[in-house]
Amino acid sequence: MSGKIAVVGAGSWGTALATVLDSKGIKLNLWIREEDLLKTIKDTRENSMYLPGVKLGENINPTGDMEECVDGCDAVVFSVPSHVVGSVVRSLAPSIKPRQRIVNVAKGLDSGTLKRLSQVIKEALPDNQVAVMSGPSHAEEVGKGIPTTVVAACPEREMAEYVQNLFMAPVFRVYTNPDIIGVEMGGALKNVIALGAGISDGLGYGDNAKAALMTRGIVEIARLGIKMGAKASTFAGLSGIGDLIVTCTSMHSRNRRAGIQIGQGKTLEQVLGGTHMVVEGVKATQAAHELSVLHGIEMPITKEIYSVLFEGADVKKSVENLMLRSKTHEVEEIVEGW
């Protein structure tokens, strides 16, 4: 193989990761779905729609042909919205060779099957190694070369270290973790809590409320993740509390921004209609709620956010429901036998 990399998806994150690879002198194909955007990027070397102000180097080859994008590449990086990962991978499956490594960087769950995205990819590409990369990483900062740290996860150590070596750069540090379940669940579910953090901000609540929401939110994420086979320690790491912090506190976060507007009184339809970016937390909330019911896991914050988004619940009433829940201990395993 040539050593070239394919990045499928030229949203803000795919474009930012392309700049990381470009900075290392790695040649890559960047697949761009929108014809107008493809022409603009070829003409200006800038993704003005999703990552304005960041120039794309000469190592990056923009293309609108998905099969051409992956042809002869050592690895294929999928950076498309979570709800289309399955369809995109299945459409490309005949063009992908077993030796090509697959890296998914989208954060979410498959809304149709409630499966993790690596599971969906593995079903379509059973002969390929599949890893994921996640963590606190706003594309806007990565594109500008601001120091960022993420985690590559795969049960196969050699594959995780391949991803680490591929992306590791002076301003982009990559750790490894065998717990792919925990890394994926943390990356998907933090968007749910970020919507809640935004709603809290939109309501005019302060730091106390947000701190409580984030702290109890990571408890919910860990509960569900552990039930699905994750390791508890993963949620104390970059793809757990790290990603949760950055997504709940930054205005770069489209999930937090969406939540702010909902807290200020806009409907979900109005919020989604006002952006060309995908708000991953909306579909993640639906999937997380369904999984909590399926597995019998108590996730009160997720339940209230689901009620606000999909059942028309009043946001202030939902806050009241959370505050007036039955009294409980903070850490149940500590107080057993107390």
CA 321 to chain centre: 28
Query: Cα–Cα distance between 153 and 129 in angstroms, integer?
Result: 12
What dihedral do alpha carbons 21, 108, 156, 91 form, nearest 10°? -70
Q: Which of 27, 39, 97, 190 is catalytic?
A: 190
User: 104, 116 in Cβ contact below 8 A?
Assistant: no
Q: CB–CB of 80/106 below 8 Å?
A: yes
Is residue 4 part of the annotated active site? The answer reads no
Task: Tell me the C-alpha to C-alpha distance, in Å, between residue 247 and each of 45, 198, 280, 310.
Answer: 28, 10, 12, 22
Tell me if 234 sits within 8 A of 152, measured CB to CB.
Answer: no
- Tell me whether strands 130-134 and 148-153 are parallel, antiparallel or unpaired: antiparallel
User: Parallel, antiparallel, or unpaired for β 28-31 and 148-153?
Assistant: unpaired
- For the chain, strand residue ranges (E) read 5-8, 28-31, 60-63, 75-78, 101-104, 130-134, 148-153, 172-177
DSSP string spanning 268-291?
HHHHHHT-SS--HHHHHHHHHHHH
Cite the active site residues. 190
